[in-house]
Structure 1
């Protein structure tokens, strides 16, 4: 029997002809010529509020956590898949929960590593036009309608980011974190890129184009740290957080 696609929106599940044609984010950001938005947006605010309340309630007692980002398209046969799994294993051994976007690929690898190591494996899913459900290794999962609510949870409940190879979504999370750290919206916390070969082109552009053009400062380059192994990623995260803890204790 052919397996039917499943579309999940919050706590609702749709299949077949009942599948929505667009997401809540699409509807929210769409321009409207009529004035009916005056009556609809207040209700959207309540729905957005409920996502924050649900997320805060579910994650409040999570404890120290690190978010692991990366492509949903990565095959389990990809060498970086195993690295992501080992990163999560190392983070659990260091006392951290592991948070991912809850999907397949790199996210699945990290959740797998956390769950099999007896750690707290969290997935923050998002409603997308194409099908993507929480992977089987997520032990605590929350599905969001709105990207900005989901991003807030990543930033609020993470002590640092480990960034595996990925595409636009991964870059979005990476640069949002860097922007918040650069502007002082969050305390400086570690951002680790895993895979020197993969990330070197981006680092060259940041250093060779942004810096000479005066778009960033020399000190901003210190916000990015690139490694090749799971062990190095975990070591950098733990060392940075220990340093920050010592600084706070001495203040």
Structure 2
């Protein structure tokens, strides 16, 4: 999907760009003519992405204030950006609350909520000054309904969902467009593998029997469409699921 706005030259900062939806989004925007600052912690993967697509690699941890400041300085010196795409995040563990691991909850809140807040706070002056700035937050359907074994991720994504709604209200007077994309089941290279502590067999079972789960490219296509629309058009909240998933807890699996 393409749109008239993408015929212009736009610049996006895309976090989480070393893998999964973030990488797919950086690739797609670059292919459509955007200048893209690709942000993630793994410098080697960013360098490979840059060599293949022409994105500008900026290794950074969005939870670290010094890294965020350095990222902002890099983008400012290069002429600024009109779009911030917050994709960095993730889940750890599937424990129920009775067995919750504090370190997993701490990590999920720090990355999904505080990291998103820190980078958004840093770039808002730039986006306001642009006159037609956009913030897109990739959250999750986990932020809409709780499910067993998901409490920590639910809590983090509910928080990110609420933060995004508040941001839209706070920045409408500054003509900053705020979009939220909330995917359901997406089969990516690392999400479930990391959530399940590197257990590849358990990670494969998450998608077992599901006919055509979403891919990173599916979600990236929607993200790129949303930020590429004329600026006065705001897709406030976009829920994306595979047809086989009617709700977080309702997934059709074929044996």
TM-score, reference length from structure 2: 0.39
Larger Rg: 1
Relative contact order, CA 8 A, sep 6+: which one is greater? 2
